[in-house]
Structure 1
Amino acid sequence: MGDVKVLGFWASPFSGRVEMALKLKGVEYEYIEEDLSNKSPLLLKYNPVHKKVPLLLHNAKPVAESLVILEYIDETWPEGPPILPKDPYERSKARFWARFVEDKCMPAMWKACWSRGEEQEKTKEEAVELLRILDSEIKGKKFFGGDNIGLVDITANFIAYWFGIVAQVVGLDEVITKETHPNLCKWIEEYNNCSFVKENVPVKDKLAEKFKEGIQAAAKSSPDSAS
């Protein structure tokens, strides 16, 4: 197994992906919390390109970027429950949908949360339409990975858990509803009620408070805010 360390940030869905994958595989690891406003020498040494979390250190060898780390974990510890399907075609599909969540859905959802006025309506509709595509993909399945949590489910942890908390804090509603996304809503409920997931996500109240702090800090640093 070797020495395994995770450099992360407790409120990050990206860090959450890596920890969930390691726990799914039953891999023991040391977690190192990063102060993102004062990044550690260890993080800067082993991830000098992006200087971001999460970062996996396996026998002092760094692996960066959460989706890359998930595949590395799956390949390095094959004895645990699979994160990606064994069939090459199914693996390619899982990678495709994971990238769709990462590159399309999440940016649109973040924009909808932080934009205002007419721009928010536009970004919200963009998010709704992208999530409709994801809704079609999950139709008739318990998880994106079939009967068990897999790559796409772990990648979409922000959609299932984090987004609802952020949206509530910023007062954004009607993005994911049973009327517009019935299959996705069913998946979200299934995912969040899974005992394994419940054990490995941040406490909602603590996460909401962190987002409120972020909003207040952003407001204070805005050039339009009072001096």
Structure 2
Amino acid sequence: MEKESEVFLLGSWFSSYCTRVRLALEIKGIQYEYIEQDLTNKSQELLKYNPVHKKVPVLVHKGKPIVESIVILEYIDDCWKTAPKLLPEEPSERAKVRFWINYYDQKVGPSTKVVLVCNGKERDKAIEESNELLKVLEEGIARDIPNRSPFLNGENPGILDVVIGSSACNVEAFNEAIGGVDLSLEKYPCLFELVTVLKNSPIMKKSLPPHIDLVAKIREKFNLNQDA
């Protein structure tokens, strides 16, 4: 177990990318110090450790910064080799997991943001496109990861569970922030079961942002109002 002084995380409470890293650290049992960042007034510490993108999350381990959430998750798994592992050991299984991580980050995540910034018929179209992407994800996971129980990674959450759960577990907050829109996962049995199990896990409950605060933050960030 590392000393707190050797591991610290620069993050933002409402960022699902930061939630990913916090979840991974908790799953691995790594002691760390969390340092909240004001992204409207970026600290010298953040600019020092991530001078290229100037974004969170940034994991600093023994003075060395690691940036980008997926890079950080893989670093954590490589550096702290004790169980539970975040990635499968078998190369072809690792490749499948990495594929669906990329699909989620490049397709599913951005589609949700499109829903938030659209209105009227454009929003209806965006929701339809988002549902199509989720259908592909549902079918792909069912095909490529058949032995999941209760998590995609088995008995403990793995990297794909973390990536999906860090944002999908907040779907109720997105629905409430938008108003009149249902982004429910109930029509996708595999994803719905996964998110339900994750939301009920102590690690996820500890890491997710407060529902009320997240609703307010989403409305503020995307200029939404209660009747939108």
Q: TM-score by structure 2 length?
A: 0.88
Q: Structure 1 residues 168 and 75, CA, compared in 2 at 3 Å: closer, same or farther?
A: same
Distance across 1 between alignment mates of 2:106 and 2:219: 25
> 1:155 — aligned with what?
163
> 2:221 — aligned with what?
214
Among 162, 185, 188, the alignment partner of 2:195 is 188
Q: Using the TM superposition, give the Cα deviation of residue 114 of structure 1 relative to its aligned residue in structure 2, in angstroms.
A: 2.0
- Matched AA of 2:77: D
> 2:46 — aligned with what?
43
> 1:94 — aligned with what?
97
- Percent sequence identity is 39
Distance across 2 between alignment mates of 1:44 and 1:196: 30
Give the stretch that moved more between structures: 142-151 or 104-113: 142-151
> 1:145 — aligned with what?
153
Distance across 2 between alignment mates of 1:194 and 1:113: 28
5 Å-filtered alignment, 1:61-210, equals: 61-139=64-142, 141=148, 142-178=150-186, 180-210=187-217
Aligned length: 217
The unaligned stretches of length 5 or more in structure 1 are 220-227
CA RMSD of aligned residues (A): 1.8
Q: Using the TM superposition, give the Cα deviation of residue 122 of structure 1 relative to its aligned residue in structure 2, in angstroms.
A: 1.4
Question: Does 2:2 match 1:12?
Answer: no
Q: Is the contact made by 1:7 and 1:56 (CA closer than 8 Å) also made in structure 2? A: yes
Distance across 2 between alignment mates of 1:177 and 1:20: 21
Q: Using the TM superposition, give the Cα deviation of residue 162 of structure 1 relative to its aligned residue in structure 2, in angstroms.
A: 2.3
Q: TM-score by structure 1 length?
A: 0.88
Q: Using the TM superposition, give the Cα deviation of residue 39 of structure 1 relative to its aligned residue in structure 2, in angstroms.
A: 0.3
Q: Using the TM superposition, give the Cα deviation of residue 110 of structure 1 relative to its aligned residue in structure 2, in angstroms.
A: 1.2
Q: Using the TM superposition, give the Cα deviation of residue 172 of structure 1 relative to its aligned residue in structure 2, in angstroms.
A: 4.9
The unaligned stretches of length 5 or more in structure 2 are none
Deviation beyond 6 Å, 4+ runs, structure 1: none
Q: Per the alignment, in what secondary structure is the counterpart of residue 71 of structure 1?
A: helix
Q: Per the alignment, in what secondary structure is the counterpart of residue 169 of structure 2?
A: helix
